[in-house]
Every structure is written in C-alpha cells, then in structure tokens.
C-alpha cells in the first residue's frame, strides 16, 4: 500500500490569497513575478472555486514575503480583509444578535473558508477566551497566517462593536518578531508573546450585548447557507481525510480502530475496506497524526522527548525515535534544534 504523505490533506480554497496579491501591488512589488514563479494566473487567483495544494499555498505566501521583504505581510493582509470577503459566513456574523452568537458562528463555520485551523472557546469569570488551533501543521507560514487571521477576527469585532471594543488582550504562541510594535498599534490592547496558545481575550460583559446590525431573519438564512456549504465540503472529503481530521482533533492516546469506526457509524471491517480502496490504512493514518503531534510538540514546547513518546503510547523511547526519523528524516532532537 502507498504510504500517506506526511502533509496529505484536501486542496485549499484561495479566498484570501487575492488579498496577498493586492497588498503586494499596493507596495509596488512586481506581482507578475510572484504569479509566474508560482505557476498561477490572475484569473485563477480571482476564481472563488480555484483550489491549490497545501505545498502550493505555503509557497505562495512564503514567496510573497520574500518578494516584498516584509515579514509583517500577514498583519497587513489581515487588515485589508473586509467582512464581505468571508462569504456567507461573514454575512451571518454581520447579522448576529450578540457577540456570542457571532463568535459561535465563526467557530462553527470557519472551515468553510479555511480548513487549516479550528476555533475553541471557554469562559472565565470575566472573559471569553477564543483560541486558534492548527488543524494542519502550518510550518514556515505559521506566523504570517496567524497574523492575518488574528487581525481579521479583531476587525470583525471592531465592525460589530465600533463604539466599545470587546478585545482586552492578545496572546501569541510565538516569539516577538522584529516588527513586534505593530501588534500593539493594530490591536490597541496588551499583546503577549511566547504564550502557550494563540488567543484573543474578550470581555465577558460584551458577549451578550445586543448588536446594532442584528437581523435574526437574515442570520438564520445565512446560517443555513453555511450549513449547506459545510455539508458539501464534508461530503467531498475521502474517508482517509475524515479519519485523519477526526484523529487529529482527538485527545491522545488516539482512539482505536473500533472507536473510530463507531464514530463514523461503520464496522472496523468496513473502514479497513474503504481505506484499502484509497491505498491507505488506519495504521498509516495514526502514524501521520502522531507525526503531526510530534512536530507541534517539539517546535512549540520544551517538554522532554521521553514524555512525548509515552503520551503517544510508546513504551520504549528508542522505538519512538526510530519512528520519528522514518517520518521526518531527522531525529526528534535534530528537528527541535532546526526549529529554534
């Protein structure tokens, strides 16, 4: 059987890459060089149905940063994305009755616009914490991608509540870049780097305040469109992709084949047969997910390799080291050094 590509995933929509193009143009960069270098035309970039692989997506963003020599590109791209750019999800958010309903809508339907992240929320006594979590390891585009997404969400909040911002703090899971001062200028709240998670902290009092642009009828209509779009996207995914995403979002240790089959209302034998037809297997998908988890752990935490191995179910740390070298081509220690 063919092994799963370590970065295998469904093609990505290019909804926001046109904003990268427009920002490069605004800065006077030769956008034709950028397009030709990446083998893409302007017509394709402006086609809402056009999709690219994750590798191509990475190259487009990374080459744009190299072309303009401005690593803060993500902040500027996020700042130019208007609510209408978010399609029907943006329309639903715009017509939400409360900020809580708007955030819940974003959380439920963000994958209709980008399948790379998921949003989690939890409440404290005085705040609502919105956490952005990678579904797929973003690699070299992690910082510009998160920059753009954070600014985009902050702009949504500002449009919904223009007179009193609900945002009170921003946490970033990466080190302060050379352009760190621009974060405070854009967010206008305290920004903390080197945090455990990437988060927007909102005041709890703002979550239930009525929004001026609320339209319950338009909201329900837009939400139904979003539901249909999400169902269509889920229907296009292969079982391999669905199992990969399910395991990726599950706590470790990962669910067994029997538990995974039950989640998809199938028998283990049926799952095995369908995956075999897609030149895949449950064992290969588990290895791919373990690889993803390992890379995130090694690049984003200082925890021991022994602890990681035990969390993934390896009794012998040496077996984990061999497995990681087979996945990545380097040892866990070498990979961690490369990320610093």
- Provide the whole-model pTM: 0.73
Task: Give the rounded distance of the alpha carbon of 340 from its chain centre.
Answer: 22
The reported pLDDT for the residue numbered 278 is: 85
The reported pLDDT for the residue numbered 53 is: 87
The reported pLDDT for the residue numbered 77 is: 96
The reported pLDDT for the residue numbered 196 is: 87
List the chain pLDDT tens, one digit each, 340 residues.
333 343 445 678 888 899 999 999 999 999 999 999 999 999 999 888 888 988 899 999 999 999 999 999 999 999 999 888 888 999 999 999 999 999 999 999 998 888 889 999 999 999 999 999 988 778 889 999 999 999 999 999 999 999 889 999 999 999 999 999 999 999 999 999 999 899 999 999 999 999 999 999 999 999 999 998 888 877 767 888 889 888 988 888 899 999 999 998 899 999 999 999 888 999 999 998 999 889 888 887 888 999 999 999 898 999 999 999 999 889 999 988 887 6
The reported pLDDT for the residue numbered 10 is: 66
The reported pLDDT for the residue numbered 340 is: 66
């Amino acid at each position: 059987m063919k092994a799963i590509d370590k970065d295998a995933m469904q093609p990505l929509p290019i909804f926001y890459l046109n904003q990268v193009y427009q920002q490069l143009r605004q800065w006077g960069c030769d956008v034709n060089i950028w397009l030709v270098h990446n083998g893409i035309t302007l017509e394709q970039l402006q086609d809402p149905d056009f999709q690219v692989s994750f590798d191509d997506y990475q190259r487009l963003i990374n080459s744009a940063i190299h072309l303009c020599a401005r690593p803060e590109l993500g902040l500027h791209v996020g700042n130019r994305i208007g609510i209408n750019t978010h399609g029907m999800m943006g329309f639903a958010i715009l017509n939400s009755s409360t900020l809580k309903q708007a955030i819940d809508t974003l959380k439920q339907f963000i994958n209709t616009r980008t399948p790379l992240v998921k949003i989690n929320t939890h409440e404290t006594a005085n705040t609502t914490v919105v956490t952005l979590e990678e579904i797929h390891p973003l690699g070299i585009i992690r910082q510009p991608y998160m920059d753009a997404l954070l600014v985009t969400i902050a702009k949504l909040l500002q449009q919904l509540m223009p007179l009193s911002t609900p945002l009170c703090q921003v946490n970033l899971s990466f080190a302060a870049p050379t352009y760190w001062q621009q974060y405070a200028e854009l967010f206008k709240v305290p920004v903390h780097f080197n945090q455990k998670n990437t988060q927007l902290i909102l005041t709890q009092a703002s979550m239930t305040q009525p929004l001026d642009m609320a339209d319950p009828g338009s909201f329900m209509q837009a939400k139904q469109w979003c539901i249909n779009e999400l169902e269509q996207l889920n229907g296009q995914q292969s079982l391999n992709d669905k199992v990969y995403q399910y395991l990726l979002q599950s706590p470790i240790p990962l669910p067994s084949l029997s538990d995974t089959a039950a989640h998809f209302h199938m028998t283990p034998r049926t799952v095995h047969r369908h995956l075999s037809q897609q030149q895949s297997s449950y064992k290969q998908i588990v290895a791919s997910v373990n690889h993803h988890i390992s890379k995130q752990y090694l690049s984003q935490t200082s925890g021991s390799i022994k602890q990681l191995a035990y969390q993934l179910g390896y009794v012998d740390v040496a077996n984990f080291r061999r497995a990681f070298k087979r996945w990545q081509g380097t040892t866990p220690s070498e990979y961690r050094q490369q990320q610093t």
